[in-house]
Amino acid sequence: MTSTEPERAGRESGGVRSKLPAGVFDASFASLATFVAGLVAVNILEGDDLGIYAVFFAAFTFGQLVAYQLIYVPAEIVAVSRRGVLRLAVFEDSFRLGAIPSVAGASLVFVAALTTAPLASTSLTLGLTATAFCATLLSPSQDHVRRTLHIADKSWQAAWMSFTQFAVTLAATGVMLALDVSVVWIPFGALTAANLISLTFGMYLVIRDRRRAEAEGHRTKAGDRVTFAELVPQGRWLLLQAAIPAGAAFVTANIITYLAGPTAMGYAEAARIVAQPIVVLAGGLIYPLRPRAMEAALDRDLASSIRVERAYVAIVALGGLAYIPLAGGTWPWNPMQYLVPAAYEVPGLVIATILANTILASVFLLTNELMAAGKARTLAILNSFAAAIRILVATSAGVTGAFARPLSEGTAELFVIGGQLRGHRDIYRPTADTDPEA
């Protein structure tokens, strides 16, 4: 379906501008929740234990992709094709279909337990495994609700979900510290509580809105059901293209832990936490801009695509460059050196990580646009080559130490950027095949 010019103009003017503050608010507090957990880990886990936590965090990041990419992202693309409150009807099918993939993804935490067992104490392994499993199980569903609320033009509701997640993380951390709970249970334990309560709150908002719309005479049930067979052909490629870099990140974390030592991996994890605001900025832009970029891809509207992508990349790049003089070194005005002192143990590591995060974040929106255009298989191929590059560069950890992480991430992503730009040109060619690849 091709949008009319008035419809498109209306969406771009009022819609995006009005949702940008909510998107930034949402991404900021969602990231702050993870930041609080990471901050606790950095300050209460010692030396090698922090490096082990970093491997589990990589497994957490990897595991939550299974349900999200296989089921939830294709379901969100279905939601984009609907209008109004009908976009929220996707939950009737997506949660049911995503249950088993969520458990499968969370089970990847056990792989982290096995790979780190020779370097970790039994109590550390047990605590991180139990809490990381629960957090990984709940996280994709919570993200799915928030992202769909953005798609349904209810961005501030998504933002309040994130605020709830942050507040509960903070409160749960404080309570567990006050009760003298073993420190290994706190980082992922707090995230588990936060995801559970935030998800419950989000579903309350969805149910309330649908009941109000029904009372006003609006149709709230979609005429067609979303099926596993409908989602998986695209979802399998979406999962593959996302799982490859996440899997490479997990392998990289293990390589650095063994070649450079858990302490070096701990420093790299601390630097990642400091550099996270770049990802927060990108996430804040993604939420309101993602539906517009996806609509541009579905409509093959090159002008809209270029307009949205240029604005996104410019803001991310400027944000990254501005953040370096603020948090890049141990300067008097930098509060991060006191909050995350481990990140500055290796001079220049934070700057390298900020630059790597800026490169990574610069293609988040373009990735979503290519997904909507049915180019998940292309993304999977690009990420396969990039994963090989990432792992190869990571093997330099014996020499480069903690720098192996940002070097491997940044180098691999430069390859992805080149391939995605070529894919973008292909989908907007006049003779481009508009059928999905899979």
Residue 433 backbone dihedrals phi, psi, to 5 degrees: -75, 120
Averaged over 280-298, what is the pLDDT?
A: 81
Cα–Cα–Cα angle for 228, 231, 235, nearest 5°? 120
- Token pair for residue 80? 């984009």
Using a pLDDT cut of 90, give the percent of the chain over it: 53
pLDDT for the residue numbered 288: 75
Least confident of 5-9, 61-65, 119-123, 318-322: 5-9
- Token pair for residue 155? 């961005």
pLDDT for the residue numbered 222: 63
Q: Is the per-residue pLDDT at 378 higher than 70? A: yes
Q: Is the per-residue pLDDT at 367 higher than 60? A: yes
Domain boundaries, the chain: 20-226, 236-438
Specify the pTM.
0.79
User: How far is the C-alpha of 408 from the C-alpha of 395, rounded, in Å?
Assistant: 9
3-state secondary structure the chain: CCCCHHHHHHHHHHHHHHHHHHHHHHHHHHHHHHHHHHHHHHHHCCHHHHHHHHHHHHHHHHHCHHHHHHHHHHHHHHHHCCCHHHHHHHHHHHHHHHHHHHHHHHCCHHHHHHHHCCCCCHHHHHHHHHHHHHHHHHHHHHHHHHHHHHHCCCHHHHHHHHHHHHHHHHHHHHHHHHCCCCHHHHHHHHHHHHHHHHHHHHHHHHHHHHHHHHHCCCCCCCCCCCCHHHHHHHHHHHHHHHHHHHHHHHHHHHHHHHHCCHHHHHHHHHHHHHHHHHHHHHHHHHHHHHHHHHHHHHHCCHHHHHHHHHHHHHHHHHHHHHHHHHHCCCCCCCCHHHHCHHHHCCCCHHHHHHHHHHHHHCCHHHHHHHHHCCCHHHHHHHHHHHHHHHHHHHCCHHHHHHHHHHHHHHHHHHHHHHHHHHHHHHHCCCCCCCCCCC
pLDDT for the residue numbered 17: 56
In terms of Cα–Cα distance, which of 264, 327, 329, 340 is closest to 40? 340
Per-chain mean pLDDT for the chain: 86
In terms of Cα–Cα distance, which of 77, 69, 145, 73 is closest to 297? 77
Q: How confident is the model at residue 238 (pLDDT cuts 50, 70, 90)?
A: confident
Averaged over 309-323, what is the pLDDT?
A: 94
Unique residue bearing structure tokens 């009737």: 92
Q: How confident is the model at residue 20 (pLDDT cuts 50, 70, 90)?
A: low
Query: What one-letter code names the amino acid at 155?
Result: S
Q: Is the per-residue pLDDT at 97 higher than 50? A: yes
Which of the pair, 218 or 326, is modelled with greater confidence?
326
* pLDDT tens-digit map of 136-172: 999 999 999 998 898 888 888 989 999 999 999 999 9
Q: Is the per-residue pLDDT at 103 higher than 70? A: yes
pLDDT for the residue numbered 437: 53
